[in-house]
Structure 1
Amino acid sequence: MKKTLLMLCVATILSLASEKAFAQFEKGDKILNVGIGGGGYGFYGGGFAVGGSFEVGVHEFISVGAQADLNFYNYSYGFGYAKSNYISVPIAARGSYHYGKHFLTIDKLDLYAGPVLGFSIDGNEYYSGTSIVIGVQAGARYYFKPAMGAFAEFSGGSNVIPAKVGLSFKF
């Protein structure tokens, strides 16, 4: 009786931690990324950013969502000129194509890429205004628990944060 109960408990635990729980990406997944970034802002000097994104799976390979960051960076007006500290808040819609399951057998790894489009509220002590955010992003998430993992993301374009790392939560 004890062996049967033990086998039943082991089978239950294995089924809860099954491959399905660690699946790369599926329709209906809700993913929250929270992280930090840096590497400057466009052609400007070094920067630091904090922010997050939220995506919902609308297809087996496609998710849509939004992102927002708070970015601090420096800009120098040329050799020997004063530096200025800028703050920007890029807010954008994003889409991702999750292509990892086409060729990967690692269920804990989710590879994705897609467009980013929105606007940014920018300013410093001399200027305030808005600008367009347009670019692309590509990244990877590795789930070390069924609903929690780490991500690294790289972006290119106008008014996007070049690199971000942080934690991902799947709902």
Structure 2
Amino acid sequence: MKKILSTLIVIAILSVTSKSAFAQEQFQKGDKLLNVGIGGGGYGFYGGGFAVGGSFEVGVHEFISVGAQADLNFYNYSYSFGPKDSYVSVPIAARGSYHYGKHFLTINALDLYAGPVLGFSIDGNKYYTGTSIVIGVQAGARYYFKPAMGVFAEFSGGSNVIPAKVGLSFKF
């Protein structure tokens, strides 16, 4: 009887520890996160647009990651009743994220984050080429359907940022 009870206790301990060993964590220090996706919305009040881009971040703390992002944005706009003009911009920025979902979520595969974005953008059309400042905030969510692969949705606000992006997310 003691052997059976001891065996059951050992099996129970091993099953709990093995489950936690393979459980997927939301975000950890040292994680390398890569987002690749598409976006849209143009800049501010300037008509619609389409963007492709990505971001890369490294976890420097239990709740904080830092990195960079770059996008290629195509959009149209017009002043008042004037003709529409096509623009291309390449916003490149540093970013930081605070992974706040760990404080209240019990879904290990879901990572909620938000943080600042700061950089510059190379802008141009057939008449003008120049640079502008990128400053804003971003907030998003990643859902990992595999331990190292998932999907993300991100929303941004500010100057020269892509308002919305969706795509694939990878964790290294």
Paired residue type of 1:72 = F
Q: Secondary structure of the equivalent of 2:94?
A: strand
Partners of 1:17 and 1:146 within 8 A in 2: no
In the alignment, what sits opposite 2:98?
97
CA shift digits 1:13-59 (9 cap, x unpaired): x659821xx21000000000000000121221100000000000000
Partners of 1:49 and 1:69 within 8 A in 2: yes
CA distance in 1, matches of 2:80, 2:147: 50
Q: Superposition RMSD on alpha carbons, in Å? A: 1.5
CA distance in 1, matches of 2:45, 2:74: 14
Runs (4 or more) in structure 1 with deviation over 6 Å come to none
TM-score for both structures, normalised by structure 2: 0.88
The one of 63, 67, 70 aligned to 2:69:
67
Tell me how far 1:130 sits from its aligned partner: 0.1
Matched positions, count: 157
TM-score for both structures, normalised by structure 1: 0.88
In the alignment, what sits opposite 1:18?
22
More displaced, 32-41 or 89-98? 32-41
Q: Give the unaligned 5+ runs of structure 1.
A: 1-6
CA shift digits 1:46-75 (9 cap, x unpaired): 000000000000000000000000000001
Q: Secondary structure of the equivalent of 1:169?
A: strand
Question: Identity over the aligned pairs, expressed in percent?
Answer: 86
Paired residue type of 1:58 = V
Q: Secondary structure of the equivalent of 1:101?
A: helix
Q: Give the unaligned 5+ runs of structure 2.
A: 1-10
In the alignment, what sits opposite 1:168?
169
> Which has the larger Rg?
2
